[in-house]
Structure 1
Amino acid sequence: MKQIPNLFTLLNLVFGCLAIIFTLQNGIITTASAATGVELIDIPEKIWFASLFIGLAAVVDFLDGFVARLFKATSEMGKQLDSLADLVSFGVAPGLIMYQFLRLTIAQEEGALDTSIVSLLPALLIPVAAAWRLARFNLDAGQAYSFKGLPVPAVGLFVAALPLIYWNINEDWVLDVLLNQWVLYGIILLLSGLMVSTIPILSLKFEDFSVRNNIPKIILAVIAVGSFLMLSWTAIPLVIISYVILSFIFKPKKVA
């Protein structure tokens, strides 16, 4: 029974690995080259499958903690294993998604094949910041009801939403935003900065069943349901942003 939570954690890791596999799947589009005319460049064809697996990883990431508390099977090994799985599912996989999105934005430009790989490297800030955030969390025993910095799963879900929005929301302004290299750089810097920051962020664990002690969580739940009904996949980044804003408004106790 004590190993059941770890099985959920390992399933989280499996989903993260599957997300990476689908992120690296190739399709083919054409792009213009000043030297040779039309050229071919590889991009993922079904990267949105990666988004779905990151979503599944988030579900089992929640369940492993719930099951561990249910069976009173928390352990130091489980804690370390959870962070390793989270790094893959919500750090490496989203970093690769952002890497491929940067490739896609550059592919729209003339002379794209001559672009240096250096312009794609900022995407790696996401797994680097995630590793830092998770290592700090493992060494800090005081983050039960509030966190230091944005939790890594929230970042993973934010990035995972981008392919779903890109392939399902047929609005020109959405494509303009997602195919803007500088917007993507801004998202990378913002998410990475929030992860490594020491800004107090609300934990979504319910302390009890009273409304008074759970007001921000109830507000976030209402925002989540309402925005999903109206905005579909676009709601995911909005909910994450609302989560950060609510943390500033309600100011959880700063952890040492």
Structure 2
Amino acid sequence: MRQVPNIITLCNLFCGALAIICILHAPEYHAEFNGTDYTVVSPEPVYWASALVVLAGIFDFFDGLAARLLRVQSPMGKELDSLADMVTFGVVPGMMLYRLLRSAYFQQPDVFDVSIVNLAPALLVPCFAAYRLAKFNLDIRQSENFIGVPTPAVALLVASFPLIVLFNPFNLAHWFQNIWVLYVIIAVLCYLMVAEIPMISLKFKNKSLADNWTRFLLIILTLVGIPLLKFATVPLIFICYVILSIVVPPKMQTN
């Protein structure tokens, strides 16, 4: 029974690795431009990878829950969890943003002049995620709540972007095909992951409404938003989560 939480954590990692394969597995086709043949990689969004990130998030929730219920929490499990999160909630959203940037540049008239330098900023997300996870492992203030936005929240937000592009609720798709919007999103997410901002944890320590009203509010907003806003609910809940954490900051332990 001691290995059950670790097995669940490895399911998280498996989903992350499979999501990377989905992102990389893009069909190629030939295009002619000014009399020259080019091999073009399809920029279509990575819908399956989005679903795998959500599944990985479920595993990430249950591995900690299983460890507490079975009373088998260990340093090994904590390190394994961070390594899995680095892949699933660090590398995968970085690659998603890379593909979205690439797709956005395909809308530009000078698409064939785009350099890897134009797309490289997306890889800052894995870098800041790694820093955030290392900081989390060493910071005793984050035993109950967080300092900076947790990587699963960032990954779930980014995973919603391809689905918004696909289903286009409220005509939002064009925003995620704008290179400057994507650059701003990358910069904001990188900052939020390492910012010294106390963030609410969604783990319930007790059943008190007074202690958990912000958590209940986020859950209610999610349940109401899903049938009304569809996939646009995810960015809305993310923004509400950040604002609530700033306006009603959770109590943190001191070093």
Q: TM tier, shorter chain? A: over 0.9
Shift of 1:36: 4.1
Structure 1 position 191 matched with structure 2 position 183: no
Change (3 A) 1:170 1:212: closer
Aligned pairs, number: 254
Change (3 A) 1:150 1:47: same
Shift of 1:229: 1.5
Output one character per residue of 1:126-160: Cα deviation in whole Å (capped at 9) or x when no partner.
10010000000111122122211000000000000
- Work out the CA distance in 2 between the residues paired with 1:92 and 1:70: 30
Aligned twin of 1:2: 2
Q: Which moved more, 1:113-122 or 1:41-50?
A: 41-50
- Work out the CA distance in 2 between the residues paired with 1:102 and 1:201: 29
TM-score of the pair, normalised by structure 2:
0.94
Say if 1:146 and 1:202, in contact at 8 Å, map to a contact too. yes
Change (3 A) 1:203 1:28: same
Question: What percentage of residue pairs aligned between the two structures are identical?
Answer: 43
- Work out the CA distance in 2 between the residues paired with 1:38 and 1:106: 19
Structure 1 position 158 matched with structure 2 position 163: no
Secondary structure at 1:142's aligned position in 2?
helix
- Work out the CA distance in 2 between the residues paired with 1:127 and 1:180: 21
Change (3 A) 1:218 1:30: farther
Aligned twin of 2:137: 138
Change (3 A) 1:104 1:247: same
Counterpart of 1:108 in structure 2: which amino acid?
Q
Aligned twin of 2:40: 41
Output one character per residue of 1:9-68: Cα deviation in whole Å (capped at 9) or x when no partner.
0000000001100011113478785x4478552035561000000000000000000000
Say if 2:45 and 2:162, in contact at 8 Å, map to a contact too. no
Q: Which moved more, 1:108-117 or 1:8-17?
A: 108-117
- Work out the CA distance in 2 between the residues paired with 1:224 and 1:37: 50
- Work out the CA distance in 1 between the residues paired with 2:63 and 2:43: 31
Secondary structure at 2:49's aligned position in 1?
helix
Structure 1 position 243 matched with structure 2 position 241: yes
Q: 1:121-132 maps to which residues of 2 (within 5 A)?
A: 121-132=120-131
Q: Which moved more, 1:237-246 or 1:55-64?
A: 237-246
Q: Which moved more, 1:46-55 or 1:120-129?
A: 46-55
Say if 1:177 and 1:183, in contact at 8 Å, map to a contact too. yes
Structure 2 gaps, min length 5: none
> Segments of 4+ in structure 1 off by > 3 A?
28-33, 35-40
Q: 1:82-121 maps to which residues of 2 (within 5 A)?
A: 82-121=81-120
